Structure 1
C-alpha cells in the first residue's frame, strides 16, 4: 500500500508501476424498510497516512500493466483508501466506481463482489475504487452525523472532484478524462458528480439508482436506510428540501446532463438467474432485494420520463428479471463498458 504522493522512478525502471395510496404507496412503504438491506458489511477504518510531499512531474509510478494497488490519499476527512487497477497500457483515462449504501472501510465492493477487474484488465483505462463513505451519498455534508458520534464531516464530493484527481495526476491519471458509475446510493451520486463536474467526467452510469429522491416517501425511506447503515442522520447531510437536498436529486438537476453519454438501468425486481435462495435467511434477503429493486425501478422510470420531457438522450436498460444485488450490477457494468471506453479513449 502506498502512502502520500508518488515519487519519480529511480534507476532504469522505465516501466511505470505502481403520496397517493395504492400500489405506489405500498412500494414506497416496503422500500423504506427494505433500503436498510446490507449491501456489504462494515470493517475497520484505514490507517493514517504520512504527509504528502510536493507534486511530481515527469514519469509516474504504477504497478505493472493492469495491476491492482491500494493507495492512501490525503483528504480533509483524513486519509482515504483508494483501490486502483491501473490502465493496461499506461493510458491517462479513469473510471470511478462508486459503492452502495453500506460501503465498507476495507475494500470497495466492486473489487470483490463483481468481475469488474477482469472486465477492464486489458483496457487502457484505470479503475478508481474509493473505499468507505457508508451512507454518504458521496456528497458534501454540512455537519457530522449527530446520531452516531461521527467526528468529521463527510466531504466526499470535494474528495472525488478535487483531492483525489489532483493526487492521481501524480500517477499519470488525467483529472479531465474520467467516467463515473455507481449502484444504488452510488447511482444518483454518479449522475450528480457528472452533472456538476462536466470538465472531469465524460460519461456516467447509474445501476439501480434512486433518481427521484424528492418523490413522496423517498426522504423517509432514505432516513430509515441511513439509520440502519451506520446510524447516520440524513438531516446532517441535507435539510429537508433545502438547496443542498435538491442539488442531490437527479430529477431536479436533469437539465445539466444534456449531452453527457449516460447508461441507466433498473430491473423489474422479479427473481432472476442469480436469485437462488436455499435457506430462510436467503428467502428473506431475496425478498428485500426485490423490494429495493422495485423502488429503484419506479424512480428510474420517472427519471426516464423526465429526460424525455427535456429531450435529453440516454441509454436505458430495464431487464425483465433481476433484484438489487451484485451479479446483476456486474452484468450492467459489462453492458456499459464500451460507452466508458469510447468516451475516454480507453480502448
Structure 2
C-alpha cells in the first residue's frame, strides 16, 4: 500500500508560512508491512522518506543510504535492488531517506559555492535527530536501529554509527569510501562531486587537514566502532555476471571506482585487525553496481536481524 501523508505535508506548509500548527497526538502506525512515503520536517526543509513498516509491527528499523547520484524522487534501494522483497517477512521497518545527492550524508559547513545551492546540507542532523524523533511518533525505537549504505553512503553509515552508538546496533558499508583521508582521495571526491551536481568538497569538510575530514573517516574513527557488529564489503573491480550491460565507458568507470573502494576496504580491514576490533570485511569479485550491493544486503541480512533481535 502506497500512501502519502498529506497531514504531515500540510503541517509543514502551514508552519513554513508562519501560521500556528495545532499539536496533535502521534499518528497511528499503518498496517504492519505497509509502504508509505513520508515528508519529514528538517532544517533543510521537508525531506521525503520512503518507509516499509515491520511485518509484525516491531519497533526496530534499518536505514538504507543511497550512493552519490541519490535521486530526488525515490531511494535507489527501492528501485535498483530487491531490498523490499528481502525483508518482506521480517519484523524490521525499512527506512529509505530520499535525496542527498553528493552530500555524503554529513553536516556541511555551508552551501556548495559552485552550484548556487541555497540550503546547507545537514544530513547527520537529520538522520540522527530529526528523523528518529519523527519516527518515534510512529512507534520506531530511537535506539534499536541498523544502518547500511552503498558507495557514498557506505562510509557515512559507519561514521553515523561511530558517533551515535546509542542509536545504531549494526552498520554496513558496501563499496564505501571508508578512508577519505587517504592521500589524493580528496581529489577523487572533488572530481566526483563536481561531476555529480557541481558540488564543492571544500564546502563540505573544508580543505584537507580540517578536523572534519578525520571525524568523517571510518578508518580513523575505528575505535569508536569497537563492539558494534559490522559488515564492510567491496568488489575487486573486475566485471562479473551481475554487471548490467553498460557501455565500455561506464564499465571502465565502475571498475576504477571499485578498485579504489577495494583499497579502502583493505586499509580498514588492516586497521581493525591491528586494534583487535571484530568486523567482517569481504573483498570479492565484483564491480561498482547496484546488483552487487543487493547481494551484499542479502549477506548482511541475518547479521542485521540478529543485532536488532528482529527475527
Q: Could you say whether these structures have the same fold, taking a TM-score greater than 0.5 normalized by the shorter chain as the test?
A: yes
Structure 2 residue aligned with 1:42 = none
Q: Output the CA distance in 2 between the equivalents of 1:4 and 1:143.
A: 31
User: What SS does the corresponding residue of 2:49 show, helix, strand or coil?
Assistant: strand
Output the CA distance in 2 between the equivalents of 1:49 and 1:120.
34
Give SS of 2:51's match.
Answer: strand
**Aligned: 1:303 with 2:268:** yes
Q: Secondary structure at the match of 1:250?
A: coil
Give the distance between the partners of 2:81 and 2:133, measured in 1 at CA. Answer: 28
1:56 aligns with 2:25: yes
**2:60 matched residue in structure 1:** 93
After TM superposition, the score normalised by the length of structure 2 is 0.93
Report the alpha carbon displacement of residue 62 of structure 1 after superposing the two structures with TM. 3.0
Q: Deviation string for 1:14-47 (max 9, x for gaps)? A: xxxxxxxxxxxxxxxxxxxxxxxxxxxxxxxxxx
What SS does the aligned partner of 2:74 have?
Answer: coil
Aligned alpha-carbon RMSD (Å): 1.5
Q: Among residues 184, 196, 202, which one is paired with 1:229 in the alignment? A: 196
Alignment of 1:98-247 (within 5 A): 98-239=65-206, 240-247=208-215
Distance 1:297 1:254 in 2: 17
Compared with structure 1, are the counterparts of its residues 93 and 328 closer, same or farther at alpha carbon in structure 2 (3 Å cutoff)?
A: same
In the aligned structure 2, how far is the partner of 1:247 from the partner of 1:259?
A: 19
Deviation of the 1:65 alpha carbon:
2.3
Aligned with 2:295: secondary structure? helix
**Which structure 2 residues correspond to residues 61-100 of structure 1 after superposition, within 5 A?**
61-100=28-67
Tell me how far apart the structure 1 counterparts of residues 13 and 85 of structure 2 sit (CA, whole Å): 29
Segments of structure 1 that go 5 or more residues without pairing to the other structure are: 7-47
- In structure 2, distance between residues paired with 1:213 and 1:147: 21
CA contact (8 A) 2:8 2:38 kept: no
Higher relative contact order (CA 8 A, sep 6+): 1
Deviations 1:283-330 (A, max 9, x none): 2211111111100000110110011111101011221x2110000000
CA drift at 1:56: 3.3
CA-to-aligned-CA distance 1:127-156 (integer Å, 9 cap, x gap): 000000011111100100010000010000
For 1:120 and 1:243, locate their aligned partners in 2 and report how far apart those are by CA, in whole Å.
38
Structure 2 CA distance for partners of 1:3 and 1:140, relative to 1, 3 Å: farther
Distance 1:50 1:317, change over 3 A: farther
Q: Equivalents in 2 of 1:53, 1:327: separation in Å?
A: 45
Aligned partners of 2:32 and 2:57 also within 8 Å: yes
Tell me which of 227, 237, 248 is aligned to 2:216. 248
> Once the 2 structures are TM-superposed, how far is the Cα of residue 232 of structure 1 from its aligned partner?
0.4
CA distance in 1, matches of 2:24, 2:54: 21
CA distance in 2, matches of 1:73, 1:49: 12
Q: Do the aligned partners of residues 49 and 113 (structure 1) sit closer, same or farther apart at CA in structure 2, a change above 3 Å counting?
A: farther
In the superposition, the TM-score normalised over structure 1's length comes to 0.84
Aligned to 2:282: 317
Q: How many aligned positions are there? A: 300
CA contact (8 A) 1:49 1:73 kept: no
